[in-house]
């Protein structure tokens, strides 16, 4: 890294969508999915946040900051449907809380970080919550439990259930969904 000490950071070129796909800006200004598994895994291994809550991937001496469509992590059920894993392959770890938003999405506050559950896994996750918590009869009771702030059993541990508005997520979990350069820093 000493060889290239003044490589500028990159903003606005990499996005994380709500399904956990990495998207890169194309020459036409739109975004296309990165379909190369090795590249996606490389981004995932080098994905971190700075002190301002801006998520980036470290590419040698350069930080490529990520625009987040919702949260820094997108969780899905693992192959056995017994845990959640992120788009980076990291397990969510212990689940501290689950939040239902106004659009029907589920946010997870896990040891790994805050993330939205991939839409394809929502039905299976909700079925699992109802099965693991006999007091819940259906989704309607789940919504009532979220309004009360009940504690539920989730993947073998206890987690608080609550409500959240999508616009509150970044402030509550301390991340910047649209990183910008610091004053005086070039915007590449």
Give the domain ranges of the chain. 73-169
What sign results for the dihedral spanned by CA atoms 81, 79, 73, 20?
A: negative
Q: What is the pTM of this model?
A: 0.91
Per-residue pLDDT of the chain (188 residues; tens, 9 = 90+): 455 567 889 999 999 999 999 999 998 989 999 999 999 999 999 999 999 999 999 998 899 999 999 999 999 999 988 899 999 999 999 999 999 999 999 999 999 999 999 999 999 998 888 888 888 877 788 889 999 999 999 988 899 999 999 999 999 999 999 999 877 776 65
C-alpha span between 154 and 93 (Å, rounded) = 11
Burial class (CB in 10 A: 0-12, 13-18, 19+), 46: middle
Beta bridge partners of 163: 100
């Amino acid at each position: 890294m000493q060889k290239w000490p003044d490589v500028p950071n990159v903003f606005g070129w990499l996005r994380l969508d709500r399904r956990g796909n990495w998207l890169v800006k194309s020459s036409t200004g739109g975004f296309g999915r990165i379909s190369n598994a090795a590249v996606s895994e490389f981004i995932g291994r080098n994905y971190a946040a700075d002190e301002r809550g801006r998520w980036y991937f470290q590419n040698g001496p350069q930080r490529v900051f990520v625009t987040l469509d919702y949260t820094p992590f997108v969780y899905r059920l693992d192959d056995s449907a017994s845990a959640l894993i992120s788009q980076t392959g990291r397990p969510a770890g212990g689940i501290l809380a689950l939040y239902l938003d106004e659009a029907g999405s589920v946010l997870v506050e896990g040891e790994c970080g805050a993330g939205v559950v991939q839409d394809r896994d929502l039905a299976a996750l909700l079925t699992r919550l109802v099965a693991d918590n006999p007091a819940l009869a259906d989704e309607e009771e789940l919504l009532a439990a979220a309004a009360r702030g009940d504690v539920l059993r989730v993947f073998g541990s206890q987690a608080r259930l609550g409500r959240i508005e999508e616009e509150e997520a970044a402030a509550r979990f301390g991340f910047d969904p649209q990183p910008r350069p610091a004053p005086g820093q070039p915007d590449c």
